[in-house]
Structure 1
Amino acid sequence: MLQDPDLILQCRQVTKQVTTGEKTLEILQPINLQVRPSETVAIIGASGSGKTTLLSLLAGLDTPSQGEIYLKQQPLHKFDEEQRSAVRAKHVGFIFQSFLLINSLTALENVMLPAELAGDSNAQERALSMLAKVGLKDRAEHFPSQLSGGEQQRVAIARAFISSPDILFADEPTGNLDSKTGDTVSELLFELNQQQGTTLVLVTHDNDLAAQCQRQLVMHAGELTEAVKPVAEVV
């Protein structure tokens, strides 16, 4: 496959099958996708349609059964877990529906962690700056259990952006939040995304959130297509 240097993410004929007993489940049909730097892309669809599976493949958290995936021209489909981990550490940020903060660490320590792992000597200073950007500098010493769901997701957003990732993957980033808190979090997410010029690929059930992205893709029964009508009508 010829790689386009103008693309940050590129996949071709990507499939995923899972075998249980004598049955093989086709989770993803052959998928082709191209994403340009700084583009914002939403993947929408019903539960069980394959959205999160695809996101895991694109982010290098899993490998496809067939097909090719390139992230920053790196062939993720050829890499072992150690190699994919190195690509993620250098280029990728994550935001998850369940926040995935480390309960034994304070908000500040959770945000600092990726920068510390990258050897950043200014990790604490940068983490405090990120917490200030998400409006939580005064909660820096609180543990996740002392924070509301919205506050935990804002900490997770700060953690995702501290390393200035080239591409950010978000899996239902407002899924565990009430409508008002979700609106606040999504506004913050897109604001920081624009400030840093990060590429954003998100999975969501929230049509309003998806509509804020430049492009909407629809996942149905493992097949991915471009939305050709208003996103509110798709699912």
Structure 2
Amino acid sequence: MNIKPEIILECRNVTKTVKTASNSQHEKSLTILKAINLQVKSGESIAIIGASGSGKTTLLSLLAGLDLPSSGEIYLNNLALHSFDEERRSKVRADHVGFIFQSFLLINSLTALENVMLPAELANDSDAKEKAIAMLEKVGLADRIEHYPGQLSGGEQQRVAIARAFISNPAILFADEPTGNLDSKTGERITELLFELNQQQGTTLVLVTHDSTLALRCQRQLLMQAGEFINQEVAMAEVS
């Protein structure tokens, strides 16, 4: 498989179908994604938008290697995610990927500092603590590093989550509704921070959002409807 080096993420004819419960003896299938094709350049920012149930989060989980497609191919940094088992996909995520979720997903029993350190520690980074302190300073939480998630506001928790996502300097960052649980003013601050760090580190950004302000900050906006891009012609990046 030969993909041009400037393409960090590519999916080809990706579909996702799940079995649904049925009252009859025959299983029924639900098609969530239909023949998705997408190319994302290194350093690019992409917003995937669409109504609830359109397949956005399912696509994000496939692109990040959290799940496997029913058919089609997904390449991340030239690695064939669709052909990897969970152990190999987990390694790819650890080496190349950062995540930010709507619900923050911090570990309540760990301090802000310990939450941010975790990915670096799992990667056996001997400078995990120093890097975590530096990241928390970058996101404006230098005075909150010993606080637990329950002692932080929603905006502060999301800043911790952003610091955690960026600590390993991921090649690509996936964000699922990163401002979804925040008020508009806090959401604006988180948006500024997200793109500031994105620019500083040159990270590729792929996000799912209902927030039009956040979506418009991205270089491309891809609209999903009923499991496919309805602006399919702009889903493929121009590759020179």
* TM-score, L = length of structure 1: 0.95
Structure 1 segments unaligned to the other structure (5+ residues): 230-235
1:9 alignment partner in structure 2: 9
Which SS does the other structure have where 1:8 is aligned? strand
Q: Residue 228 and residue 11 in structure 1: after superposition, are their counterparts in 2 closer, same or farther (change >3 A)? A: closer
Q: 1:21-170 alignment to 2 at 5 Å? A: 21=21, 22-170=27-175
Runs of 4+ in 1 over 4 A off after TM superposition: none
Q: How does 1:212-227 map to 2 (within 5 A)?
A: 212-226=217-231
Contact 1:69 1:75 in 2 (8 A): yes
SS at match of 2:43: coil
Partners of 2:112 and 2:232 lie apart in 1 by 38
For 2:18, the aligned partner's letter is V
Query: Aligned-pair distance for 1:227?
Result: 8.2
Structure 2 unaligned runs (5+)? 22-26, 235-240
State the shift of 1:173 in Å.
0.1
- Hey, what does 2:208 align to over in structure 1? 203
Aligned counterpart, 1:193: 198
Moved more, 107-116 or 17-26: 17-26
Q: CA RMSD for the aligned pairs?
A: 1.3
In 2: Cα distance, 1:28 partner to 1:20 partner: 15
Distance 2:18 2:218 in 1: 31
Deviation of the 1:84 alpha carbon: 0.2
Mapped partners of 2:52, 2:185: distance in 1: 23
How many Å separate the matches in 1 of 2:158 and 2:41? 26
- Give the Cα–Cα distance (whole angstroms) in 1 for the partners of residues 105 and 63 of structure 2: 19
| 1:121 counterpart SS class | coil
- The total of aligned residue pairs comes to 229
| Alpha-carbon separation, structure 1, partners of 2:230 and 2:221 | 9
Supply the AA of the counterpart residue of 2:66: L
